[in-house]
Amino acid sequence: MSDSPRSENMLFLTDEQLRKGIEAMFFAYRGFTADPDRILKKYGYGRAHHRAIHFVSRAPGTTVNNLLSILGVTKQSLNRVLRSLIADGLIESRVGTRDKRERHLYLTETGKSLEAELSDSQRERMRDAYRKVGPTAVSGFREVLEAMMDEDLRRHFAPAKDKK
Amino acid sequence: MSDSPRSENMLFLTDEQLRKGIEAMFFAYRGFTADPDRILKKYGYGRAHHRAIHFVSRAPGTTVNNLLSILGVTKQSLNRVLRSLIADGLIESRVGTRDKRERHLYLTETGKSLEAELSDSQRERMRDAYRKVGPTAVSGFREVLEAMMDEDLRRHFAPAKDKK
DNA sequence: CTTGGAATGTCAACAACACTGACATAAAGT
DNA sequence: ACTTTATGTCAGTGTTGTTGACATTCCAAG
């Protein structure tokens, strides 16, 4: 391998290419959060509320502790957000039946409707982007994202991926 | 095309697939910023400082106004960050020669060294992810990201892409 | 030349949301 | 009984966004 047969395949690993990837990530994430941010502002909420709503919607009945480990914030920080969502009637907190220390979280009808409004807007942007580039690019996109996550995050993300 | 030959190619546009893409974006971005965040904390800086340093490094001599339109924040917000970076001797602000209202920004040697430390760590993560998935996936990744940006952001991002 | 507006940047005050630390309560496990 | 776990709360702090007010500089119309 004197002439390094792989070298032509490694051009995407130059510092310049990587810098472009970094900036693309920055700008894309901004675009990605722009629509929900606009909607949230109407209701006086922020991104933290969106994340809580999203993951409660994805896993109804989840506990506060579950949410904490997924979101990776402190309980004080999460609690401030949950308190306002519960007070406003978007999230319902039920004391656990088996373990009464736990609080299980559910979206109310109002909560579901905000969740739908938020995820519709975000899905629409993602759908537009996906449609533009086609399934092959999308699959590459997902591969890179998963490779970029921390290992412990991947666990939360795709727990049922081994059914291949 | 009575049986819709494209339908099998549209499976990646289901709500479930889109939701997964949304979450992947969330988790990947967190991993993406984790390393720089750790480094920045050592010096008492935050993400805003990173962004300022990054774009000053990319375009030395840029003006505050330029930076504002790229970063999409208010000038007051940027100014606080710039002030501390200038006070700490990481960025140098030179009054414009042609237009004395403008301030042109440059990294000092100290600034360059922090920039290198930050971008090295971020590039390393991106390089690892890229290596894992290969050039085809990377190209798809970049395509989706660019499609997901806002149009006005894409302008800042790839101004010299027409040399095809 | 002067005056007034536009562009550029700075300072001050405030809000959102993350953090740490300390503490309270209730329930479960040993 | 004692410890651990799950949750919630209070107080304080830091980063980063916001708006408002203001200073400086440039430029162009009178």
- CB of B145 within 8 A of CB of A145? no
pLDDT at A2 over 70: no
In a domain, A18, yes or no: no
The protein residue nearest C16 (Cα–C1') is A46
Amino acid occupying residue A80: R
Whether residue A20 lies inside any domain: the answer is no
Is B23 inside any structural domain?
Answer: no
Measuring CA to CA, which residue among B30, B61, B13 is closest to residue A47? B30
Determine the pLDDT at residue A44: 86
Q: Which residues of the protein are close to the nucleic strand C, CB under 7 angstroms?
A: A 44-49, 72-74, 76-78, 80-81, 98-101; B 63-65, 68, 75-76, 79-80, 82-83, 93, 99, 101-103
Q: Where are the alpha helices (DSSP H) in chain B?
A: 15-43, 47-58, 64-71, 75-87, 109-148, 151-157
Counting Cα atoms < 13 Å in the Cβ hemisphere of B24 gives 23
Which nucleotide is closest to A73, CA to C1'?
C18
In a domain, B113, yes or no: yes
B15 in a structural domain: no
**Is A86 a residue whose pLDDT tops 60?**
yes
Report the alpha-carbon distance of residue B160 to residue B88 in Å, rounded: 34
Note whether B59 and B106 are within 8 A (CB).
Answer: no
- Assembly ipTM: 0.85
Domain of B94, in residue numbers:
31-156
A40-69 average pLDDT score: 92
Nucleotide nearest to B97 (CA to C1'): D25
Residue A159 has pLDDT above 70, yes or no: no
Question: What is the tens place of the pLDDT at every residue in A118-147?
Answer: 999 999 999 999 999 999 999 999 999 999
Asked if the Cβ–Cβ distance from B51 to A136 is below 8 Å, we say no
Below-70 pLDDT ranges, chain B: 1-9, 151-164
- Percent of the residues in chain A that have a pLDDT greater than 90, as a whole number: 64
Residue A3 pLDDT: 53
Beta strand B91-95 with A103-107 is unpaired
Bridge partner list, B63: B104
Q: What is the dihedral angle through the alpha carbons of A58, A62, A68, A72, rounded to the nearest 10 degrees?
A: -20
pLDDT-based confidence at residue A62 (cuts at 50, 70, 90): very high
Q: CATH code at B35?
A: 1.10.10.10
- Give the residue from A10, A36, A52, A6 showing the smallest Cα distance to A123: A36
Structural domain count, chain A: 1
Residue A163 falls within a domain, yes or no? no
**Is the CB of residue B56 less than 8 Å from the CB of residue B62?**
yes
Q: Is residue B111 in a domain? A: yes
Task: Give chain A positions within 8 Å (CB) of B157.
Answer: 23-24, 27
B76 occurs within a structural domain: yes
Query: What protein residues sit with their CB closer than 7 Å to strand D?
Result: A 63-66, 68, 75-76, 79, 82-83, 93, 99, 101-103; B 44-50, 73-74, 76-78, 80-81, 99-101
How far away is chain A from the Cα of B65, in angstroms, using its nearest Cα?
A: 18
